[in-house]
Protein backbone atom coordinates (compact mmCIF):
# COMPACT_ATOMS: atom_id res chain seq x y z
CA UNK A 1 0.00 0.00 0.00
CA UNK A 2 1.54 3.36 -1.03
CA UNK A 3 2.35 5.91 1.64
CA UNK A 4 -0.08 8.70 2.21
CA UNK A 5 1.13 12.22 1.45
CA UNK A 6 1.70 14.90 4.07
CA UNK A 7 2.50 18.33 2.65
CA UNK A 8 4.13 20.78 5.06
CA UNK A 9 4.17 24.45 4.05
CA UNK A 10 7.33 25.98 5.53
CA UNK A 11 7.88 29.74 5.81
CA UNK A 12 11.41 29.75 7.26
CA UNK A 13 13.78 26.81 7.03
CA UNK A 14 14.37 26.29 10.75
CA UNK A 15 10.66 26.20 11.67
CA UNK A 16 10.04 22.71 10.36
CA UNK A 17 8.12 19.70 11.66
CA UNK A 18 10.78 19.03 14.29
CA UNK A 19 9.93 16.09 16.51
CA UNK A 20 6.57 15.63 14.75
CA UNK A 21 8.28 14.45 11.55
CA UNK A 22 9.19 10.90 12.67
CA UNK A 23 5.75 10.41 14.20
CA UNK A 24 4.05 11.47 10.96
CA UNK A 25 6.27 9.11 8.99
CA UNK A 26 5.59 6.29 11.45
CA UNK A 27 1.88 6.82 10.85
CA UNK A 28 2.43 5.98 7.17
CA UNK A 29 2.89 9.39 5.55
CA UNK A 30 5.52 10.56 3.09
CA UNK A 31 6.42 14.14 4.01
CA UNK A 32 6.86 16.76 1.28
CA UNK A 33 7.95 20.27 2.24
CA UNK A 34 6.81 23.24 0.19
CA UNK A 35 9.06 26.22 0.95
CA UNK A 36 7.54 29.66 0.59
CA UNK A 37 9.52 31.77 -1.88
CA UNK A 38 11.31 28.71 -3.27
CA UNK A 39 8.66 26.19 -4.33
CA UNK A 40 5.32 26.71 -5.97
CA UNK A 41 3.72 25.72 -2.69
CA UNK A 42 0.17 26.39 -3.89
CA UNK A 43 0.39 24.64 -7.26
CA UNK A 44 -1.22 21.46 -5.91
CA UNK A 45 -4.85 20.44 -5.59
CA UNK A 46 -5.83 21.62 -2.09
CA UNK A 47 -7.65 18.34 -1.48
CA UNK A 48 -5.06 16.01 -3.03
CA UNK A 49 -2.78 15.77 0.02
CA UNK A 50 -3.89 13.32 2.69
CA UNK A 51 -2.59 15.71 5.34
CA UNK A 52 -1.65 19.39 5.19
CA UNK A 53 0.49 21.05 7.85
CA UNK A 54 1.04 24.82 7.76
CA UNK A 55 4.04 25.79 9.87
CA UNK A 56 5.13 28.94 11.69
CA UNK A 57 6.90 32.08 10.57
CA UNK A 58 7.69 35.62 11.73
CA UNK A 59 4.97 37.44 9.77
CA UNK A 60 1.32 38.28 10.32
CA UNK A 61 -1.51 36.23 8.84
CA UNK A 62 -3.08 39.54 7.75
CA UNK A 63 -0.03 40.90 5.89
CA UNK A 64 -0.90 39.76 2.37
CA UNK A 65 -0.14 43.21 0.96
CA UNK A 66 3.46 42.76 2.09
CA UNK A 67 3.55 38.99 1.48
CA UNK A 68 1.18 38.18 -1.43
CA UNK A 69 1.79 34.43 -1.16
CA UNK A 70 -0.50 34.48 1.90
CA UNK A 71 -3.45 34.87 -0.46
CA UNK A 72 -2.65 31.47 -1.98
CA UNK A 73 -2.26 29.86 1.43
CA UNK A 74 -5.60 31.22 2.55
CA UNK A 75 -7.32 29.89 -0.59
CA UNK A 76 -5.85 26.43 -0.03
CA UNK A 77 -6.92 26.46 3.60
CA UNK A 78 -10.41 27.70 2.81
CA UNK A 79 -10.92 24.80 0.39
CA UNK A 80 -9.48 22.17 2.73
CA UNK A 81 -11.27 23.37 5.83
CA UNK A 82 -14.60 23.64 4.01
CA UNK A 83 -14.14 19.99 3.03
CA UNK A 84 -13.07 18.94 6.53
CA UNK A 85 -9.80 17.55 5.13
CA UNK A 86 -7.07 16.72 7.70
CA UNK A 87 -5.21 19.95 8.45
CA UNK A 88 -2.78 20.97 11.20
CA UNK A 89 -1.66 24.55 11.77
CA UNK A 90 1.18 25.59 14.06
CA UNK A 91 1.58 29.23 15.20
CA UNK A 92 1.28 31.25 11.96
CA UNK A 93 -0.38 28.17 10.48
CA UNK A 94 -3.05 28.20 13.19
CA UNK A 95 -3.57 31.93 12.67
CA UNK A 96 -4.04 31.38 8.93
CA UNK A 97 -6.50 28.56 9.66
CA UNK A 98 -8.45 30.84 11.98
CA UNK A 99 -8.57 33.53 9.32
CA UNK A 100 -9.61 31.03 6.63
CA UNK A 101 -12.47 30.03 8.94
CA UNK A 102 -13.61 33.65 9.14
CA UNK A 103 -12.02 34.74 12.44
CA UNK A 104 -10.02 37.90 13.07
CA UNK A 105 -6.22 37.76 13.52
CA UNK A 106 -4.53 40.74 15.17
CA UNK A 107 -1.60 41.80 17.40
CA UNK A 108 -1.81 40.49 20.95
CA UNK A 109 -1.28 42.57 24.10
CA UNK A 110 2.43 41.71 24.05
CA UNK A 111 4.81 39.11 22.68
CA UNK A 112 4.66 35.69 24.27
CA UNK A 113 8.10 34.11 23.98
CA UNK A 114 9.35 31.39 26.28
CA UNK A 115 8.42 28.07 27.85
CA UNK A 116 5.34 27.72 30.05
CA UNK A 117 2.39 25.31 30.46
CA UNK A 118 -1.06 25.67 28.98
CA UNK A 119 -4.34 25.97 30.82
CA UNK A 120 -6.58 23.37 29.23
CA UNK A 121 -10.29 24.03 28.88
CA UNK A 122 -12.90 21.36 29.63
CA UNK A 123 -12.87 20.47 25.92
CA UNK A 124 -9.08 20.44 25.95
CA UNK A 125 -8.96 17.99 28.85
CA UNK A 126 -11.01 15.57 26.72
CA UNK A 127 -8.97 16.15 23.56
CA UNK A 128 -5.56 15.02 22.34
CA UNK A 129 -4.06 17.99 24.22
CA UNK A 130 -4.67 16.18 27.50
CA UNK A 131 -1.38 14.37 26.88
CA UNK A 132 0.48 17.65 27.36
CA UNK A 133 -0.90 18.01 30.86
CA UNK A 134 1.14 20.57 32.78
CA UNK A 135 4.23 20.20 30.58
CA UNK A 136 5.75 23.51 29.47
CA UNK A 137 5.50 24.20 25.73
CA UNK A 138 7.29 26.78 23.62
CA UNK A 139 5.44 30.03 22.94
CA UNK A 140 6.80 32.33 20.23
CA UNK A 141 4.28 34.78 18.81
CA UNK A 142 3.07 38.35 18.92
CA UNK A 143 -0.32 37.93 17.26
CA UNK A 144 -3.48 36.24 18.42
CA UNK A 145 -6.90 35.42 16.93
CA UNK A 146 -10.56 35.12 17.78
CA UNK A 147 -11.98 31.63 18.13
CA UNK A 148 -13.45 30.63 14.75
CA UNK A 149 -17.15 29.85 14.67
CA UNK A 150 -17.93 26.18 15.18
CA UNK A 151 -14.56 25.43 16.78
CA UNK A 152 -13.79 24.26 20.31
CA UNK A 153 -11.26 26.22 22.37
CA UNK A 154 -8.80 23.72 23.86
CA UNK A 155 -6.23 25.80 25.73
CA UNK A 156 -5.34 29.29 26.93
CA UNK A 157 -2.58 31.21 28.67
CA UNK A 158 -2.72 34.46 30.63
CA UNK A 159 -1.50 36.37 27.56
CA UNK A 160 -3.34 34.47 24.84
CA UNK A 161 -6.91 33.25 25.35
CA UNK A 162 -6.98 31.13 22.19
CA UNK A 163 -3.97 28.81 22.23
CA UNK A 164 -5.52 25.84 20.45
CA UNK A 165 -8.74 24.89 18.69
CA UNK A 166 -10.33 21.93 16.95
CA UNK A 167 -13.16 21.56 14.48
CA UNK A 168 -14.16 17.92 14.36
CA UNK A 169 -11.44 15.27 14.41
CA UNK A 170 -9.56 16.54 11.34
CA UNK A 171 -8.87 20.22 11.98
CA UNK A 172 -6.38 21.22 14.70
CA UNK A 173 -4.78 24.63 15.24
CA UNK A 174 -1.96 25.10 17.75
CA UNK A 175 -0.79 28.65 18.57
CA UNK A 176 2.13 27.21 20.56
CA UNK A 177 5.00 24.95 19.53
CA UNK A 178 5.07 21.38 20.80
CA UNK A 179 7.27 20.22 17.91
CA UNK A 180 10.36 22.35 18.69
CA UNK A 181 11.91 19.89 21.09
CA UNK A 182 14.93 18.51 19.25
CA UNK A 183 18.45 19.74 18.58
CA UNK A 184 17.09 22.13 15.95
CA UNK A 185 15.97 24.58 18.64
CA UNK A 186 19.36 26.30 18.49
CA UNK A 187 18.49 27.40 14.95
CA UNK A 188 15.48 29.26 16.35
CA UNK A 189 17.73 31.28 18.62
CA UNK A 190 19.93 32.28 15.69
CA UNK A 191 17.11 32.82 13.20
CA UNK A 192 15.12 35.03 15.57
CA UNK A 193 18.14 36.85 17.04
CA UNK A 194 16.85 40.32 16.07
CA UNK A 195 13.42 39.70 17.58
CA UNK A 196 14.97 38.42 20.81
CA UNK A 197 17.24 41.45 21.04
CA UNK A 198 14.29 43.83 20.53
CA UNK A 199 12.33 42.00 23.22
CA UNK A 200 15.32 42.02 25.60
CA UNK A 201 15.19 38.22 25.87
CA UNK A 202 18.52 36.44 26.28
CA UNK A 203 19.03 33.33 24.11
CA UNK A 204 20.84 31.63 26.98
CA UNK A 205 17.69 31.91 29.10
CA UNK A 206 15.53 30.26 26.42
CA UNK A 207 18.22 27.62 25.95
CA UNK A 208 18.22 26.86 29.65
CA UNK A 209 14.41 26.62 29.67
CA UNK A 210 14.53 24.25 26.72
CA UNK A 211 17.08 22.04 28.47
CA UNK A 212 14.79 21.87 31.50
CA UNK A 213 11.58 21.07 29.63
CA UNK A 214 12.41 19.27 26.38
CA UNK A 215 12.56 15.67 27.64
CA UNK A 216 9.15 15.81 29.28
CA UNK A 217 7.51 17.67 26.42
CA UNK A 218 8.89 15.37 23.74
CA UNK A 219 7.25 12.28 25.22
CA UNK A 220 3.94 14.03 25.79
CA UNK A 221 3.83 15.79 22.43
CA UNK A 222 4.49 12.50 20.65
CA UNK A 223 1.50 10.96 22.38
CA UNK A 224 -0.59 13.95 21.35
CA UNK A 225 0.32 13.86 17.66
CA UNK A 226 0.11 10.05 17.50
CA UNK A 227 -3.45 10.07 18.84
CA UNK A 228 -4.52 12.92 16.55
CA UNK A 229 -3.15 11.16 13.47
CA UNK A 230 -4.80 7.88 14.48
CA UNK A 231 -8.17 9.59 14.87
CA UNK A 232 -8.30 11.33 11.48
CA UNK A 233 -11.38 10.61 9.38
CA UNK A 234 -10.80 10.18 5.66
Looking at residue 57, which CATH number applies to its domain?
A: 3.40.50.880
What's the pLDDT at 220?
A: 95
**Torsion over CA of 65, 71, 74 and 79, rounded to 10 degrees?**
160
pLDDT at 105 exceeding the cut of 90:
yes
pLDDT digits (tens, 9 = 90+) for 192-222: 999 999 999 999 999 999 999 998 999 999 9
Question: How many structural domains compose the chain?
Answer: 1
Q: Where are the alpha helices (DSSP H) in the chain?
A: 20-26, 69-83, 92-100, 122-125, 185-191, 193-198, 203-230
Residue 184 has pLDDT above 80, yes or no: yes
Q: Which domain holds residue 43?
A: 4-230
- In DSSP terms, 164 is beta-bridged to 155, 174
Q: Which of 67, 178, 54, 161 is nearest to 116 (CA)?
A: 178
pLDDT band at 1 (very low <50, low <70, confident <90, very high): low
pLDDT value, residue 40: 64
The answer to whether residues 221 and 179 touch, using CB atoms and an 8 Å cutoff, is: yes
The pLDDT value recorded for residue 182 is 72
218 has which bridge partners? none
Q: What is the pLDDT of residues 9-60, one digit of tens each?
A: 999 999 999 999 999 999 999 999 999 877 665 566 778 899 999 999 999 9
Query: Could you tell me how many residues make up the chain?
Result: 234
| Average pLDDT of every residue of the chain | 93
Angstrom distances, CA of residue 118 to CA of 6, 54, 146, 155, 173: 27, 21, 17, 6, 14
pTM of the entire structure? Answer: 0.95
Amino acid sequence: MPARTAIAVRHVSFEDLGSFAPRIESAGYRIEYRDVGVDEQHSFDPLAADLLIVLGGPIGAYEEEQYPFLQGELRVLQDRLAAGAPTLGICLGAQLMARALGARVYPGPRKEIGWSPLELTAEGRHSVLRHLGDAAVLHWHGDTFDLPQGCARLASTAICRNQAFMKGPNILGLQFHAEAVDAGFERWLVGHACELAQAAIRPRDLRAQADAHVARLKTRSQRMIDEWLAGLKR
